[in-house]
Amino acid sequence: MSPKHVIYKKLSRDKSVGIYMGRRDFVDHCDSIDPVDGVVLLDPQQIKGKKVYVMLSCTFRYGRDDADILGWAFRRDIYVCTRQVYPPLQDLDRSIHTKLQERLLRKLGNNAYPFFFEFPDNLPCSVALQPAPTDEGKNCAVEFEVKAFCAENQDEKAHKRSSVRLAIRKVQYAPDKGGPPPSNETTCEFTVSDKPLHMRVALEKETYYHGEPISVSVDIDNSSSKDVKNLTLSVEQVTNVVLYSNDKYTKSVACEETTDLVPSGTSLKKVYTMYPLLQNNRERRGLALDGKLKHEDTNLASSSIVKAEVLKEILGILVSYRVVVRGTAAGMIGSSEVAVEVPFLLMHPKPVEVRTWTWCLRSSSAPISKVWSAMTTNPTRTREPLVISFPPHPVFAIQC
């Protein structure tokens, strides 16, 4: 059983050009980036001798298009690459295509032309800031899109009816190997106390997946003469808009105010569970979210992994996370805050590759119960739905 491919298709208003792509998410693996490939279908009668171009662009938007002030547009093009696909250039080798392009070219016919782009290493990932419920227009975001248009030359402004735009995303997944479990600690000494206060905070691992609970281990050894109270835990998202203003926003996406008290001369060892979820922060303006496609939901923005050789200033929006444990050390003479921060990564896991195994029961001498057991106990299967089909020949197929 061959897996079915999803094709994304969008046509211009006058049907002169259309874009066909097999995916809209492209992964930055740090050492390489998935290339952007697809096919443009054109109508020679509608084009009327004009050329057809395809453009890949990355735009940083920090205001509405109709809110220009003194001619200043609230958007900046981080990257733009335009290529002519029709008439095909002489140096374009049409014999080298991806498998998807080969299938589309066979299906769409002679008026279909392939396009191919490679991302440069220094582009940011798709990310957006959550608008307020009353905000209108497009929000602050780093956006990617593929555009096909008809024009006399690539610098000519194309008519909207003869152009088509398809939004895509550049994403990063959690690394295969994470670092050691992060931890941090602090020791506070007070002038009115002979002995110190020691606080240590640790996490189980460096990388957590979206929707996964975070276990926070708190260890407080209070040898001082002060009492520790008002113990609060929070998961903070730190968003740094580095492209135009270097603004930094710190917002709590999960918080727990405990009633735990650590009197003088005692200790506390406890594990707390935190849930940093977008569903609990829908009304909070300015939270960084993963870039989303139209009519789709999203989640809190993934942590930004910055390559060593890339300048941070051109990455648009950088996102990081940390767990912060705060407490108040109060005594006879005044009080002071004690705090410990532990950074971590919040990301998506790499999608599990879907594989298909096929057994022909007609040619197999094993009983069907043994074949079924072999399929259901395959160590590489995942929680994907079980797919069983019955073609004209007795064949079992299972997706894992």
pLDDT at 4: 56
Q: What is the pLDDT of residue 209?
A: 94
How far apart (Å, rounded) are the C-alpha atoms in residues 1 and 359? 10
| Pair 325, 233: CB distance under 8 Å | yes
HSE (side-chain half, CA atoms, 13 Å) at 261? 5
Q: What stretches of the chain show up as alpha helix (H) in DSSP?
A: 44-47, 99-108, 368-376
What pLDDT, on the 0 to 100 scale, is given for residue 225?
86
Please name which of 12, 1, 103, 86 lies closest in space to residue 51, comparing C-alpha atoms.
Answer: 86
Q: Identify the structural domains of the chain with CATH numbers, from first to last.
A: 8-171 (2.60.40.840), 183-347 (2.60.40.640), 356-399 (no CATH)
Tens of pLDDT, residue by residue over 2-59, are 445 688 999 998 888 999 999 999 988 877 889 999 999 998 888 888 899 999 999 8
Angle at 167 (CA atoms; ends 35, 67), nearest 5 degrees:
130
CA distances from 260 to 183, 263, 267, 268 (A): 21, 10, 11, 9
Tell me what pLDDT residue 314 has: 66
Nearest to 148 by CA among 61, 25, 21: 21
Handedness of CA 201, 203, 209, 214 (dihedral sign): negative
Return the closest-CA partner of residue 178 out of 353, 346, 23. 346
State how beta strands 163-171 and 25-27 pair: parallel
Residue 278: phi and psi, rounded to 5, are -65, -35
Q: Please tell me the distance from the alpha carbon of residue 27 to that of residue 175, in angstroms, as a whole number.
A: 12
Contact between 269 and 260 under an 8 Å Cβ cutoff? The reply is no
Is this prediction's pTM over 0.95?
no
Q: Facing residues of 60 across strands?
A: 76, 142
Q: Of the candidates 325, 188, 197, 215, which has an alpha carbon nearest to the alpha carbon of residue 262? A: 197
Residue 239 and residue 248: Cα distance in Å, rounded? 6
Contact residues for 169 (Cβ-Cβ < 8 A; gap 6+): 24, 25, 26, 125, 126, 144, 290, 291, 292, 293
Query: Which residues lie closer than 8 Å to 142 by C-beta, 6 or more apart?
Result: 58, 59, 60, 61, 78, 124, 125, 126, 127, 128, 291, 316, 317
With b for 16 or more beta-carbon neighbours within 10 A and e for fewer, the 10-34 pattern comes to: eebebebbbbbbbbbebbbeeeebe
Residues ≥6 apart with Cβ < 8 Å to 72: none
The stretches in the chain having pLDDT less than 70 are 1-5, 63-74, 90-95, 132-138, 243-246, 309-314, 332, 353-400
**pLDDT score recorded for residue 367:** 42
What is the SS3 assignment for 93? Answer: coil
302 half-sphere exposure, CB direction, 13 A CA radius: 26
Q: Which amino acid type is present at position 78? A: I
